[in-house]
Structure 1
Amino acid sequence: MVRSRGTAVLAAAVLALSALSACGSGGSESPAPSGTEPRVLKLWHYESAESAMGKAWAEAIKKFEASHPNVKVEFEEKGFEQIQKTASMVLNSDEAPDLMEYNKGNATSGLLSKQGLLTDLSEEATKRGWDKLLPGGLQTTAKYDDRGVMGSGKWYGVPNYGEFVMVYYNKDLFAKHKVEVPATYEEFTAALDTFVKAGVTPLANAGAEYPAQQILYQLALTKAQKPWMESYQLYKGKVDFHGPEFTYGAETFADWVKKGYIAKNSAGLKAEDMGVAFMKGEFPMVISGSWWYGRFASEIKDFEWGHFLFPGAAMSPGSSGNLWVVPENSENKDLAYDFIDITMSQDIQNLLGNSGGVPVAADPGAITDEKSKELIETFNKLTAADGLAFYPDWPAPGYYDVLVAGVQNLINGSKTPAQVLDEIAGPYEDNLADLGN
């Protein structure tokens, strides 16, 4: 989740930074004396093994252990929700890992930095050249001020890929129902109507986790301009939750459920349920992030698929990728810094790019996979237009759960859009008051 700010540099990051190779690309630790106990780097992340990031980080572990012969990486895969809900408690204990992937933004990494749970990486960022590999907008989610607000202050994390929300579509189902890839919002809703008339629910969805709230936010963005997004995400102005943006998002989301665009039983589904259903060919489309791209490329065997940006919106949810953060209680901070270095090295970045990810320091000439090229081209198009709008849950601590409850109420029809907007406005305004805004 990123940006007020120079987000167009993100587009250039994939290409313009190709001349740079990651500094410190393998760690400089000397082998420990013979007979000493091996050191352990405790690493947590929540990328699936078949995702682009999962493949890249697995290779990074191999490279790290090869270059650190007396160090063993103790990797634990954690669920996104698991880390999201327990990070403050775990990092305030002796159970904290040495290095962890964590969600970026004010409500997550910003909150932990304000609580004193994350290590200040500013000196390492300069020494190891991360500040040069991650210029401008790419640093937005890496830095947090004393209030925990992103965009300035000290480095508390290091992102090493980009991400954004798009529409994935099943080309075979589009052809079967004679649906063309929509270029406008009107064409998009007409396509949704075509599938519904054929008895097909057009959009896979998951109301129990992040996907549904990102759809609501994307709908709001169709009525939004950049100043509105900056007011919402960066507190640069007052946000009217009953203004045209959120009103359209909530009312249209509820209407999409009534029209059958979104299944009424999706309120309790999780992101994994949604993604698997799309991979099985059960839905023509899914609106979700680039983090699925590598997995779709690896696992979809029975149909052709593609993607396009959400029609009718100048902005889409997106940002730099999640952050590597080093807990303040880490016992092996030097090893954590070395591992981050390896993930920023050009060979790992190239692997990330060829596996369906959006690297920030790859060699463009080394990206040979056609699907991966398509993804990076779309990301470049979006960022060149300064179109990354962060994510809806970023502005306030605990806001993720507030939004999950809100969209579930819209799917179930248990509350009106106006009531839901009142409920999501309250915690947002309370957070502003806590920040002194």
Structure 2
Amino acid sequence: MKNRREITAVGGPHRRLTAAWTVPLLLLAAACVPGTNGSAGTTPGDAAATSLPDPANAGTVTLTVWDQQVRGGQNSAVERLNKEFEKKYPNVTIKRVARSFNDLKKTLKLALSGDNPPDVVQANQGHSDMVAFANAGMLAPLDTYAGLYGWNTRFPQTLLNLNRVSADGSKFGTGRLYGVSQEGEYIGIYYNKDVLRRANVEQPKTWEGFTAALAQLKKAGQLPVQFGNLDKYPAIHTFGVLQSQEAKSAQPVRDTVLGSGAGFGEETRGAARTFADWANKGYVPRGANGKGYDDAAKQFADGKGAFLITGTWLLADLRKSMGDNLGFMPPPPAAGRQLVTTGGEGLPWSITSKSDHPDVAAAYLDFLSGVHASEVMMQEGVLPVVPPTGSERKAGSETAADQVVKGWQDLNAADGLVPYLDLTTPTFYDTLSADLQNLISGDLPPGQFVERMQMEYDDFSAQQREDEGGAE
């Protein structure tokens, strides 16, 4: 879910982005959250730094880092930054272990519970990973470091809060800080300009125009939406886009994911019907559940499909093979509505509680997420949480890279980002991804699909209330 949902690495050189952008002042005007303001005062359980750490004074250090930045642009950016950090601090060696998202998710808990865990890890937000690891004491709170390095004002609070866990472990999105993220990301719609031209279809400007284009493309003998769901997570992203369009704003679904909403109602039912309808009409490939994510992306790049609904993390790979034939847009809203889509931050970088070098690890996190790191990321085709300032977008520029960052600006200005659905409960990723496969294949009717989502949400909410009552 995010580069967070990537499976294999794609290497190779990448062209430099042609421009830098600024984030709206609205996005950056972030106040500290009461009780988690990142002040320099140490609180029990916080990493113990009281002044800005200097890794040069730490002696000889090997920093073991587990990450899932295996895709081309992300891998290149991390490799560059690691070398620069080691050059800046010759006494520090970074021992990097790069794993795909699925592999990291499967192995991280065992690694953290061992006697010799990594110093720095990327741990997915939400109940199943970050919340569980924080409650088990496997991750170090970072509030003190956030104050020392200014992370509370560097990042928009709405995004930084996704990396917080409440003191009682019942919620994420509030409480202590357990990670910082490098990347901004959201689910958008890539389009193949040649395929659209062949079908005499213009780039849609509204959601109504997009759905009408699907029928036009099908009639013209073109595959409307390239899609592969063998890895299960891609359907979560596509479904999230459909659900957001039905909901008309980010708030209802966002509240539910963060545990304070009513659950899954008509917006979810409408999205399920639409997804099933797309499958029935052949708007997505037959047998999509048997096609891999990367295979679908390669087929899209080869002209087999007009649209590809996935994350901004795929920009570097697609532009490498497609060049100026690649276009991108956030899911266009219905006429008169604001932008809304699934998105937020990439997997946060966290410090493990057993690390022998927390101060060096904190300096590394700061280095990975600073202004220079943002410049490196943009050069490699990766969207930073806060794109660097200093120049305007080129007038009339319509490259996919420009479109990705402009969409990020517009989505944040519109408060249009909805957290990933699989963060809703500790087991939601497994159940939702499996049910979506059955929805697409026709084995699970839309109504039953929604009922199963609501049942899991209600059961988890009831268990939380029971746990809170027992703690009183």
TM-score, normalised to structure 1's length?
0.87
* Amino acid in the other structure paired with 1:87: L
- 2:328 alignment partner, SS class: strand
Q: Percent identity?
A: 29
- 1:264 alignment partner, SS class: coil
**Distance change in 2, residues 1:270/1:96 (3 Å):** farther
Asked whether the equivalents of residues 11 and 379 of structure 1 are also in contact (C-alpha less than 8 Å), the reply is no
* Amino acid in the other structure paired with 2:246: K
Correspondent of 1:214 among 237, 246, 254: 237
Aligned to 2:351: 326
**Distance change in 2, residues 1:120/1:399 (3 Å):** same
Aligned to 1:407: 436
Asked whether the equivalents of residues 15 and 362 of structure 1 are also in contact (C-alpha less than 8 Å), the reply is no
Correspondent of 1:233 among 247, 251, 257: 257
TM-aligned CA deviation for residue 289 of structure 1: 0.8
Aligned to 1:278: 300
- Matched residue count: 416
| Cα offsets for 1:197-239 (capped at 9, x unmatched) | 2332221223233211221122121121444224312222322
User: Is residue 2:218 matched to residue 1:196?
Assistant: yes
Correspondent of 1:115 among 136, 140, 151: 136
**Distance change in 2, residues 1:392/1:32 (3 Å):** closer
**Distance change in 2, residues 1:395/1:28 (3 Å):** same
User: Is residue 2:363 matched to residue 1:363?
Assistant: no
- 2:121 alignment partner, SS class: strand
Aligned to 1:346: 371
Correspondent of 1:428 among 443, 446, 457: 457
User: Is residue 2:56 matched to residue 1:30?
Assistant: yes
| Cα offsets for 1:156-182 (capped at 9, x unmatched) | 011122111110000111111111111
* Amino acid in the other structure paired with 1:102: A
Report runs of 4+ in structure 1 exceeding 6 Å deviation.
13-17
* Amino acid in the other structure paired with 1:307: F
**Distance change in 2, residues 1:426/1:94 (3 Å):** farther
**Distance change in 2, residues 1:349/1:317 (3 Å):** same
User: Is residue 2:423 matched to residue 1:394?
Assistant: yes
Asked whether the equivalents of residues 354 and 367 of structure 1 are also in contact (C-alpha less than 8 Å), the reply is no
**How big is the alpha-carbon RMSD for the aligned residues of Structure 1 and Structure 2?**
2.7
Asked whether the equivalents of residues 333 and 340 of structure 2 are also in contact (C-alpha less than 8 Å), the reply is no
**Distance change in 2, residues 1:104/1:41 (3 Å):** same
**Distance change in 2, residues 1:350/1:174 (3 Å):** same
CA–CA distance in structure 2, aligned partners of residues 89 and 78 of structure 1: 14
Correspondent of 1:96 among 110, 114, 117: 117
**Distance change in 2, residues 1:328/1:68 (3 Å):** same
CA–CA distance in structure 2, aligned partners of residues 288 and 47 of structure 1: 17
Asked whether the equivalents of residues 347 and 362 of structure 1 are also in contact (C-alpha less than 8 Å), the reply is no
- Ranked by relative contact order (alpha carbons within 8 Å, sequence separation 6 or more), the top structure is 1
Asked whether the equivalents of residues 28 and 153 of structure 2 are also in contact (C-alpha less than 8 Å), the reply is no
**Distance change in 2, residues 1:351/1:200 (3 Å):** same
**Distance change in 2, residues 1:173/1:215 (3 Å):** same
Unaligned segments of structure 2, at least 5 residues? 3-21, 31-51, 467-472
Match runs of 1:129-144 below 5 Å: 129-144=150-165
Aligned to 1:71: 92
**Distance change in 2, residues 1:344/1:216 (3 Å):** closer
TM-aligned CA deviation for residue 373 of structure 1: 3.2
**Distance change in 2, residues 1:14/1:349 (3 Å):** farther
CA–CA distance in structure 2, aligned partners of residues 117 and 12 of structure 1: 36
CA–CA distance in structure 1, aligned partners of residues 316 and 65 of structure 2: 22
TM-aligned CA deviation for residue 248 of structure 1: 0.6
**Mean CA deviation greater in 270-279 or 67-76:** 270-279
TM-aligned CA deviation for residue 69 of structure 1: 1.2
Asked whether the equivalents of residues 44 and 78 of structure 1 are also in contact (C-alpha less than 8 Å), the reply is yes
CA–CA distance in structure 2, aligned partners of residues 254 and 410 of structure 1: 6
**Distance change in 2, residues 1:268/1:325 (3 Å):** farther
CA–CA distance in structure 2, aligned partners of residues 73 and 30 of structure 1: 14
- 2:189 alignment partner, SS class: strand
CA–CA distance in structure 2, aligned partners of residues 87 and 367 of structure 1: 41
Aligned to 2:266: 244
CA–CA distance in structure 2, aligned partners of residues 396 and 10 of structure 1: 32
Asked whether the equivalents of residues 250 and 341 of structure 2 are also in contact (C-alpha less than 8 Å), the reply is no
CA–CA distance in structure 1, aligned partners of residues 216 and 454 of structure 2: 35
Asked whether the equivalents of residues 104 and 322 of structure 1 are also in contact (C-alpha less than 8 Å), the reply is yes
* Amino acid in the other structure paired with 1:94: D
Asked whether the equivalents of residues 92 and 329 of structure 1 are also in contact (C-alpha less than 8 Å), the reply is no
* Amino acid in the other structure paired with 1:247: R
| Cα offsets for 1:269-310 (capped at 9, x unmatched) | 332222222223322111111111122223335x60111121
CA–CA distance in structure 2, aligned partners of residues 367 and 272 of structure 1: 33
TM-aligned CA deviation for residue 30 of structure 1: 2.7
* Amino acid in the other structure paired with 2:352: P
Correspondent of 1:287 among 309, 312, 317: 309
**Distance change in 2, residues 1:197/1:119 (3 Å):** same
* Amino acid in the other structure paired with 1:415: L
TM-score, normalised to structure 2's length?
0.81
| Cα offsets for 1:341-396 (capped at 9, x unmatched) | 11123222112123322224443226879643332111111111110011111111
